[in-house]
Structure 1
Amino acid sequence: MAIFKGAGVAIVTPMFDNGEVNYDKLGELLEYQIANSTDAIIICGTTGEASTLTHDEHLDVIKYAVDKVAKRVPVIAGTGSNCTETAIYLSVEAEKRGADALLQVTPYYNKATQKGLIRHFTAVAEAVNIPIILYNVPGRTGCNIQPETAVYLAKNVKNIVAIKEASGNIAQVAKLMSLADGCIDLYSGEDGQVVPALSLGGLGVISVLSNIAPKETHDMVMSYLNGDVETSRKIQLKAIPLVDALFCEVNPIPVKTALNIMGMNAGAFRGPMCEMEEANRQKLIQAMKDFGIKCCEE
């Protein structure tokens, strides 16, 4: 059975100006997401600035989200690393803290061959009992999961059940789904390619856009899955300028800025992230307004 269908939010980690995690605000954002039809919470992913959290913070944030969500929707914890042993440690500890599933990014910087990826993901998966979503984002990691590799893992490792595809290469996604023949669940990792991914058999999206437009992102997916392709297509096309603005600087700089503009006080960034360039910030504000999002700060 699928971990979820619909729109899962790759949620930000709100912080105080001194960089400490703002748990009260995280709780508010989680409640906002659930109240607006988000279908899953992805905690401590790229958008959650997981790479700048200490291991203790990382696990504390996961535990807080699990407790706050209280099984209302699945909580999927990002526990990937470029070090296999670190990924195993974070994954085991996240499972102990109640995560429903794990998101495993490809090893970054040192990267890996396809043989190395199989060994890495297999070792992590065998250390836990909960389902795993592979996360393919070569633009950030420099490492691409080839379709054949993803299919091999899904067929040979029982708890590797899905992939978040953020390669941006829709032809590669099509090849993956052709080879998979139903053995792996697909989630779009590109907010601008949700409908194309759904048309290839995808079940949803793991979304940055959902941070600021959760209901619309949910509706885009569920309209398609319920057979209303035209409504889904219209939402997708309407969202494209906003998606472009949300990625005009490195994620999560724009989306965290957007939450602040909405008056939701997601707070500061940890270095090396920094404030948006003013021209890009104004572009973001305009895109938010055009999409119908209320801006409390301009």
Structure 2
Amino acid sequence: MTKFHGTGVAIITPFNDDLSVDHHALANLVDFNIKNGTNYIVICGTTGESVTITKQEKQAIIKTIIDANNSRVPLVLGIGGNNTSAVIEEIKATDLSQIDTLLSVSPYYSKPTQEGIYQHFKAISEVSPVDIILYNVPGRTSSNMLPETTLRLANDFKNIIAVKEAGNNVHQYLKLLRDKPDDFLIISGDDDLVLGVVLAGGAGVISVLGQAVPKQFTNMINLGLEGKAKAAYKIHFELMDLTSLIFSENNPAGIKAVLEALNLAKSTVRLPLVEATNELKEKVKIALQKLD
């Protein structure tokens, strides 16, 4: 379980100007993160623009990241959706021999009941050959997986080991932290709230911003895990402006603007997303200069 304590990053999918996947930039970004302290990498999550990636591209992305990682850190693969049978088919059809855990989002658009969410993940748990991290992000799914449902799944299925909670709801975090099984991990998906979550007993983060500033972000999380609140909040305050900026238009356009300013990837995104505005790009550059 300790492999998912600390800082995970939801890695972007870099694109060339012609919208093809930039595998060179992707490999460099993986290496940059590992060398600067990132503890694990999430492949093809929301930030990786998974909904506009083809099956063939996804397999190529997985291979690039596995090769660049070279077994240095654990890898988490995003496989989720609102068609339970299709999710199960993808899990069965995917070579997971180099993947440590799945990240599976709560069903979106369909707006199932809590029982529907439970039965969805029950079906996935029963076929998955690797452990599962649940992903609750009601801002994107239009459906909140309540703590009672998360904890029911945590207690009923041993291969459901954690939840990436991204509801931006402090009370919901605290209920999960108070009532969770001892070996179940609460991982923050909210970059702005993560430090408070870690100090309250959370395991860490799956971060968007962390991939651009892995050294600072990982240091903040590690200090939080050690209970060194004052030192951790010093870094949190330094990162606050940049954290707000990357979500001000859309994700991942914001983080791609940061990575472009750092010469790590182009800011190109696929429709229906659009590239960050020039105004945002200028604000990002100023924030990075202040951060040094």
TM-score over 0.5 for the alignment? yes
Q: For residue 78 of structure 1, what is the aligned residue in structure 2? A: 78
> Alpha carbons of 1:78 and 1:35: their partners in 2 closer, same or farther (altered >3 Å)?
same
Q: How does 1:121-140 map to 2 (within 5 A)?
A: 121-140=121-140
Q: For residue 117 of structure 2, what is the aligned residue in structure 1? A: 117
Does 1:11 find its partner at 2:11?
yes
SS in 2 for 1:191: coil
Rounded to whole Å, the distance in 1 between the matches of 2:70 and 2:252 is 26
Q: For residue 241 of structure 2, what is the aligned residue in structure 1? A: 241
SS in 1 for 2:118: helix
SS in 2 for 1:192: coil
> Alpha carbons of 1:274 and 1:217: their partners in 2 closer, same or farther (altered >3 Å)?
same
Question: How far apart are 1:97 and its partner, in Å?
Answer: 4.9
The two structures, once aligned, show a CA RMSD in angstroms of: 1.5
Q: For each residue in 1:235-273, what CA deviation from the matched residue of structure 2 results, as whole angstroms up to 9, or x when unmatched?
A: 112211110001111100011111111112335211111
- Residue type at the aligned position of 1:269: V
Question: How far apart are 1:4 and its partner, in Å?
Answer: 1.6
- Residue type at the aligned position of 2:58: H
Q: For residue 190 of structure 1, what is the aligned residue in structure 2? A: 190
Q: For residue 162 of structure 1, what is the aligned residue in structure 2? A: 162
Does 1:272 find its partner at 2:275?
no
Q: For residue 39 of structure 2, what is the aligned residue in structure 1? A: 39
Preserved contact between residue 63 and residue 94 of structure 1 (Cα < 8 Å): no
Rounded to whole Å, the distance in 1 between the matches of 2:164 and 2:93 is 22
Q: For residue 289 of structure 1, what is the aligned residue in structure 2? A: 289
- Residue type at the aligned position of 2:51: S
Preserved contact between residue 5 and residue 204 of structure 2 (Cα < 8 Å): yes
Q: For residue 179 of structure 1, what is the aligned residue in structure 2? A: 179
Question: How far apart are 1:94 and its partner, in Å?
Answer: 4.0
Rounded to whole Å, the distance in 2 between the matches of 1:112 and 1:2 is 32
TM-score (norm 1): 0.94
Aligned residues: 292
Preserved contact between residue 16 and residue 268 of structure 1 (Cα < 8 Å): yes
Q: For residue 207 of structure 2, what is the aligned residue in structure 1? A: 207
Rounded to whole Å, the distance in 2 between the matches of 1:87 and 1:289 is 43
**Higher mean displacement: 267-276 or 8-17:** 267-276
Q: For residue 147 of structure 1, what is the aligned residue in structure 2? A: 147
Q: For residue 228 of structure 1, what is the aligned residue in structure 2? A: 228
Q: For each residue in 1:24-54, what CA deviation from the matched residue of structure 2 results, as whole angstroms up to 9, or x when unmatched?
A: 2111111111110100001101111111001
Preserved contact between residue 176 and residue 186 of structure 2 (Cα < 8 Å): no
Preserved contact between residue 105 and residue 134 of structure 2 (Cα < 8 Å): yes
Rounded to whole Å, the distance in 2 between the matches of 1:91 and 1:171 is 33
**Higher mean displacement: 218-227 or 90-99:** 90-99
SS in 2 for 1:182: coil
Mark the runs of 5 or more structure 1 residues left unpaired by the alignment: 293-298
Rounded to whole Å, the distance in 2 between the matches of 1:21 and 1:3 is 29
SS in 1 for 2:134: strand
Preserved contact between residue 148 and residue 179 of structure 1 (Cα < 8 Å): no
Rounded to whole Å, the distance in 1 between the matches of 2:219 and 2:82 is 35
**Higher mean displacement: 186-195 or 275-284:** 275-284
Mark the runs of 5 or more structure 2 residues left unpaired by the alignment: none
Q: For each residue in 1:52-96, what CA deviation from the matched residue of structure 2 results, as whole angstroms up to 9, or x when unmatched?
A: 001222232123212321221100011111111222233334453
- Residue type at the aligned position of 2:276: M
Q: Give structure 1 regions of 4+ aligned residues with deviation exceeding 4 angstroms.
A: none
Q: For residue 59 of structure 1, what is the aligned residue in structure 2? A: 59
Q: For each residue in 1:159-211, what CA deviation from the matched residue of structure 2 results, as whole angstroms up to 9, or x when unmatched?
A: 00101111000101101122214252011101111111112211111001112
SS in 2 for 1:51: helix
SS in 1 for 2:48: coil
SS in 1 for 2:154: helix
